[in-house]
Amino acid sequence: MVEFVMPILGADMVQGTLVAWRKKPGDRIRRGEIIAEVETDKGLIDVEVFVTGVIAELLVAPGATVPTGTALALIAEEEPAPVRVGMAAPAAVQPVPSTAAPTPRAPASSGPAAPGRLRISPLARKVAETLGVDVETVMGTGLGGSITREDVERAAAARRVMTEGSSDTRPLRDRVSTRTEPVLAAPPGMTVEPEVAARMRRTIGAAMARSKREIPHYYLATTVEIHRAMTWLADENTRRPIPERLLPVALLVKAVALALREVPELNARWVGDRVVPSEAIHVGVAISLRQGGLVAPALHDADRKSLGELMHAFRDLVQRARTGGLRSSELSDPTITVTSLGDRGVEDVFAIIYPPQVAIVGFGRIVERPWVVSGQVLPRSVVRATLSGDHRVTDGHRGGLFLAAVDHRLQEPDRL
Amino acid sequence: MTRDEILATVLRVLGEIAPEADPARLAPGLELREQLDLDSMDVLNFFVGLHAALGVDVPETDYPQLTTLDACVDYLAARLQ
């Protein structure tokens, strides 16, 4: 019998709320399948199991908030498991077997959500709870049919009108307050949105403070001339229909992933008091959430995906990061993170490493600058690339080789 | 398609990308990227959404023409004739 416990989905996570079970006692479950939906400060996450077996007992009811490591269910396993299901130690990210090779993980799908899954943002779900609305009955008008806060408020208003009657003859749409106005029927003084955002901000703050305290960071920066890459990209996009167009970030992420093959010490995790290298290259991509907050889920095997596959996976991650539905493996699997602040106008970003990773790569805004080409000064597209490294694991020399490798890869965009 | 219908479609697509924004508060002559804090992924999704809704494939080189609400409607109206 194996325990499925509340997983640690980020170095800073101390508790989570079990929102829904996807399996019941007696159901078979396979490694990599989703067993439950858990709400955390990173949003609503689909949690996967690491064993194959039959669900024996569910120990915790939906709605319960429990500390990480708490047993949530019992699974009668069909194959021997060397470690507990889920994350046992705060520093460990995945069960590490006693053999040298990392356990091959179940293929993570970045395709459509499981059929029947309710797409609803954590905020909307919270509002629904407050207003007493059954989310199963709400029609979703958000991205991908997801249920937004406005949908829930409309449903609550509609129900109130029906039960209480109203002499207001305006169309319902005009009576329901939406967008920036306070939640309908909320107790006075209570606002849901700022509370959720504030909690996420506090969690991120705690994680970043801890990272700065415990990891001796060193910082490197370089300017990469990417004129050839940008020209290639523009040309490539004229041939691609709009749903398949590439963004520069796809090239940057692929270049990072390939460069990690040359400097693999940067593609690892710090576990306990030592570094554990990773064979697979899972690049975490920092995604900002529209109401504030940040998640950095993994693009799995980024070195082996084509640019088109990376774009598709990235867009899917962005959608699920914002509307709920990220998988626990996507939060725990990154072996390095890439953050790109180019859109907001800064040229250099010196990021803080996400433990248990050992490095983070930053890219700034792609700009036109004077550049010397064969003795002449010409306008060229350039981008600043930075590396923040854990000095316990690598030093500036290796970090410098890595950035040089990224640069070289970006000089041959057709080989990305 | 009338200009009003085009505008309604553009606002709907924007609403999917920035659900917390109030379309009534968008200034038609000011840059959308600034007003809605759109990043490059949002912009791409915007054009993908327009393509899905209106069948108009906006080439990358035309993106700079669609910076404001008014400019979007003008461009799309011309393409849909």
What ipTM was assigned to the predicted interfaces of this complex?
0.89
CB-based contact (8 Å) between A146 and chain B? no
Chain A, 159 to 198: residues with Cβ < 8 Å from chain B are 178-180
* pLDDT at position A272: 83
CB-based contact (8 Å) between A92 and chain B? no
Nearest CA in chain B to A121: B19
* pLDDT at position A204: 77
- State the pLDDT confidence band at A209, using cuts at 50, 70 and 90: confident
CB A337 within 8 A of CB A354: yes
* pLDDT at position A29: 93
Please, which contacts does A274-281 make with residues 24 or more away whose CB atoms are closer than 8 Å?
A275/A358, A275/A392, A275/A393, A276/A96, A278/A102, A278/A335, A279/A101, A279/A102, A280/A102, A280/A105, A280/A335, A281/A257, A281/A335, A281/A336
Q: Which of B16, B22, B41 sits opposite A143 (nearest CB)?
A: B16
Strand partners, A75: A2, A55
Complete DSSP assignment for A54-118:
EEEEE-S-TT-EEETT-EEEEEEESS--SS-BS--SSS-SS---SSSSPPPPPPPP-SSPPTT--
Chain B nearest CA to A369, separation (Å): 20
Interface test with A, best of B14, B16, B47 (most A CBs within 10 A): B16
**Residue A18 carries which side chain, given as an amino acid letter?**
L
For the segment A64-73, the average pLDDT, to the nearest whole number, is 90
CB-based contact (8 Å) between A234 and chain B? yes
* Nearby residues of A20 by Cβ (< 8 Å), 6 or more positions away: A36, A37, A62
Q: Which of B21, B44, B61 sits opposite A245 (nearest CB)?
A: B44
From A159, A148, A224, A167, select the one nearest A185 (Cα to Cα): A159
Cis peptide before A241 (omega within 30 of 0): no
CB contact under 8 A, A245 and B19: no
Host H or E run for residue A237:
helix A227-238
- State the pLDDT confidence band at A375, using cuts at 50, 70 and 90: very high
Instruction: Give per-residue pLDDT as tens, A281-314.
Output: 999 999 988 777 789 999 999 999 999 999 999 9
Question: Reduced to 3 states, what is the DSSP secondary structure of residue B35?
Answer: helix
Give A249's contacts in chain B (Cβ within 8 Å).
Answer: 40-41
Instruction: Give per-residue pLDDT as tens, A223-261.
Output: 999 999 999 999 999 999 999 999 999 999 999 999 999
Helical segments of B1-81, H only: 3-17, 32-36, 40-54, 69-80
Interface test with B, best of A141, A242, A299, A307 (most B CBs within 10 A): A242
CB contact under 8 A, A249 and B19: no
CB B66 within 8 A of CB B78: no
Of the given ranges (A40-49, A71-80, A175-184, A265-274), which has the lowest mean pLDDT? A175-184
Q: Which two tokens stand for residue A405?
A: 């490798």
Q: Which two tokens stand for residue A313?
A: 């996976």
CB contact under 8 A, B44 and A247: yes
Nearest CA in chain B to A243: B48
* pLDDT at position A158: 59
- Please give the Cα distance from A357 to A333 (Å, whole number): 10
- Cα dihedral sign for A203, A206, A208, A210? negative
CB A37 within 8 A of CB A9: no
CB-based contact (8 Å) between A243 and chain B? yes
